[in-house]
A and B are shown apart, each in its own frame.
Chain A
Amino acid sequence: MMADLEMLRPWIFLASGILLTLLISVIRTESKRPAQISALLTVLGTAIFSFKSPPSEAVFLFSGALEVSSLSLFALGGMSVLAAMFILGTGHYLTREKIHISDYYHLLLILVLGGSVLVASRNLLLSFIALEVMSLPAYTLVGFRRNDSRSNEAALKYFILGGAMGAVFLLGSSFIFGATGTLDLSAVFTESKGGTSLLLQLGHLLVVLAFLFKVAAAPLHFWKPDVYEGAPTPVTGIMATIITSASFLGLIRLIHMIDFSSPGTVGYLELMKSALRVAAIASLVVGSSVMITQRSLKRMLAYSSITHTGYLLLGVLGAFDEKVGITSVLVYLLGYCVMSTGAFVLLTLAKAPADTGTELIDLTGLIKRSPFLTFLWTVFFFSMAGMPFTVGFFTKYSVFMASLGGGETVLVILAAICTVVGAYAYLRAIALMTMRDAAPAAGDWEFSPGSQIVAIVAAGFVLFLGIIPNAMIQYLKGIPLIH
C-alpha cells in the first residue's frame, strides 16, 4: 500500500498544493501575491515529481481505475509546466483587467488536476468526474471578467453546451455499462474481443462525440470562437493548451478501449474511422477557410486551433495502426502547446479596449514600435503555418506520415491544401507587422518582463525543436498508449 502512495506522489503534491493555495486565498484576501507564489511552487513541484522518476511499466491503482504510466506522468508534468508558464507570464493582464484575485490560482490548479486525471483514468466514472473537475473551473475562469457581458456570455455558452455534452458522455457510459456490466475500460477491451453489440457501439460513439466536442472538432466547433473571444486571454491560452491536450489524450484512450483487432469489430472500425475522417475534414476546411476572413486576432487564433484539431485527428486516424500514430499525436500536441502558449502569452500584452478585443489591426507597423515583439510573433506564426526550421513543420510532417501509414492519402492531400490556405492567414499577419505603417486605430502593446521571458522560452523551444527534433521524437516514442 505504501508503494501505491509512492506512485501517486505527483498527484498528492498537486492536491495538497491546491488546498494550500485555497487556504491562502481565503486568509489573505487583500493580496494575491502569496496565492500566486503558492500556485507557482505547486505546479513546479508537481512537474519535478512527475518528470523525475518515470516508471518503467504502468501501475494500476484503485482497482485499475487510475493508471500511473509514462504517458499519464508526462501529461501531468507537461500540464504543470504549461500552467507555470501561464502563471508567470500573464499576471500583468489580470492586473490590468482588474481580475487579479487569488481565487484565479486555485481554480487553475484544479483544472490541471482534472485534466491530468482524465488522461490517467481507466474507468468511465472516473473519466466523467475528471472531465467535470476540469470543466467546472474552466467555466468560472471563462466568466472571470464578471462585469464584462462578453465574458459572461462566453461562460454561459460554454457552460450550457459543456453541461449537455457531459450528460451525453454519461449517457454513453451508461450504455457501455449496460452492454458490458462494467465501467472499467480494460474490461470493455476484453469484452469487445468477441465483437461489439449495438448498445456498446452506440455508447462508445456517444462518449467519443462528447470528447470531439471538448476538442472542438467541426461540426461541434461553433462554441470555440465565441468562448475564446469572450474569455480572458490567459484563460483562452489555458483552454487551447491544457484542456485540448487532456481531452485529446482522453479521446485516444477511449477510442482504443475497443479491441479493433478482433474480427467482430470490422464494421464498427470502419464506422469509427469515417466519423473521425468527417470530423478531421470538416475541422481542416472550416478552420483554415474561416481563419483567413477574421479581423480579430483572438478569433483567428481560435479558428487556427480548430485547424490544429483537424491535424491531430489525422494523427488519431493513423493511430489505429499501432504505435506510430500515438507518437505523432504526442509530437503534435507538444509542439502545438509550446507555440500556443507563446502566442497567447504575447496576446495578453495587447492593450486593446475591452469592448472590441484584440484586432489584427493592432499588429500593423509593430516592427517600428517593437522589433522584438515582431520577431516573437513571426516565430509563432511561422510555426503555426508549418514552416521549416520551426517545430510546426515537424509536427505536421509526423501526423502526415502517421496518417499516410494508416492509408489516408486523400485526407493528407486535403490537409496539405488546407496548410497552404492557412499559411496565407499567418503570412498576412506577418505582412501587417512588417510592411505596413501603424494604423491610427492600432492598439498599444504593453511591456512586461514575466511574459517576455515566457515568450522567449517558448520561442526558443519552437526553434530548438524545429532544428533538432530527433531528441523530442525519440523521447516521445518511449511513451506507449496501451499497457
Chain B
Amino acid sequence: MSLLEPWMMLVVSMVIFGIGLLGLLIRKNLLVMLMCVELMLNGVNLSFVAFSKIHHSLDGHLAVLFVMTVAAAESAVGLGLVIALFRTLRTVDSDQIQILRD
C-alpha cells in the first residue's frame, strides 16, 4: 500500500479547482482572475494524474503535458489582453470595466 492513495490526490485536485472557481467568482482584480483560471486548469491536471494512477494508463499523463502547453499559450494571450485593457482604461478592476451593457 503506497502512502499516497489516488483518492487523496483527487480530493486535493478538486480543492484546487474549487479555489480557482471561487476566486474567479469573488475576486475583482483581472490579474488574480487570470491566475484563478490557471489554478482551475492545474487542478484538473492533478485529477488527470490521479485517474491515470487508478487506471494504470499513460493517457492521463500525456493529457497533462498538452494541457500545460495550452495553459501557457492561454496565459500569454490573457496577459496581452490585460495589458491592452490597462493601456486604454488605466485599471484592472473588473468592477470599473462596464462600458458594454444593454
Which chain A residues have a beta carbon within 8 Å of chain B's beta carbons?
A: 125, 128-129, 132, 136, 139-140, 143, 146-150, 152-157, 159-160, 163-164, 166-168, 170-171, 173-175, 177-178, 181-183, 225-226, 229-230, 290, 294, 299
Contact = CB atoms under 8 A, between A and B. Distances in A.
Where chain B touches its partner, the secondary structure class is: helix
B59 A152 contact: no
17 contacts: A139-B77, A152-B88, A152-B89, A153-B85, A159-B81, A164-B37, A164-B40, A167-B17, A173-B63, A174-B60, A177-B55, A178-B47, A178-B50, A178-B54, A226-B101, A294-B102, A299-B102
B44 interface: yes
Contact of B100 (A139, A140, A226): A226
A177 B81 contact: no
B77 A159 contact: yes
A160 B37 contact: yes
Contact of B51 (A132, A159, A166, A177): A177
B24 A164 contact: yes
A152 B87 CA distance: 10
Nearest to B17: A171
A451 to B, nearest CB: 25
Contacts of B20: 167
A289 B80 CA distance: 37
Interface string B58-92: 01101100110010011001101110110111000
Contacts of A174: 44, 47-48, 51, 60, 63
Contacts of A128: 66-67, 70
Contacts of B48: 174, 177
B99 A153 contact: yes
With most chain B CB atoms within 10 A of its CB, the pick from A157, A167, A177, A290 is: A167
B97 A163 contact: no
A257 to B, nearest CB: 16
A167 B97 CA distance: 24
A467 B6 CA distance: 61
Contacts of B19: none
Given A152-B84, A153-B99, A177-B60, A170 B41 contact: yes
A49 B89 CA distance: 46
Interface residues of B, number: 44
Contacts of A156: 30, 81-82, 85, 97
Contacts of B89: 149, 152-153
A290 B74 CA distance: 33
A160 B41 contact: no
Interface of B: 17, 20-21, 24, 30, 33-34, 37, 40-41, 43-44, 47-48, 50-51, 54-55, 57, 59-60, 62-63, 66-67, 70, 73-74, 77-78, 80-82, 84-85, 87-89, 97-102
Contact of A146 (B37, B44, B67, B84): B84
Contacts of B82: 156
Given A136-B74, A149-B85, A154 B100 contact: yes
B97 A181 contact: no
With most chain A CB atoms within 10 A of its CB, the pick from B40, B50, B67, B81 is: B81
Contacts of B66: 125, 128-129
Contacts of A226: 100-101
Contacts of B74: 132, 136, 163, 166
A162 to B, nearest CB: 9
Contacts of A182: 57, 59
A136 B73 contact: yes
Nearest to B80: A140
Contacts of B54: 178
With most chain B CB atoms within 10 A of its CB, the pick from A140, A153, A157, A168 is: A153
B37 A167 contact: yes
Contacts of B44: 167, 170-171, 174
A152 B77 contact: no
Given A149-B88, A178-B47, A160 B102 contact: no
A167 B100 contact: no
Nearest to A149: B88
A145 to B, nearest CB: 10
A229 B20 CA distance: 29
B37 A163 contact: yes
Contact of B70 (A129, A294, A299): A129
A277 to B, nearest CB: 26
A183 B59 CA distance: 8
Contact of B84 (A143, A160, A167, A168): A143
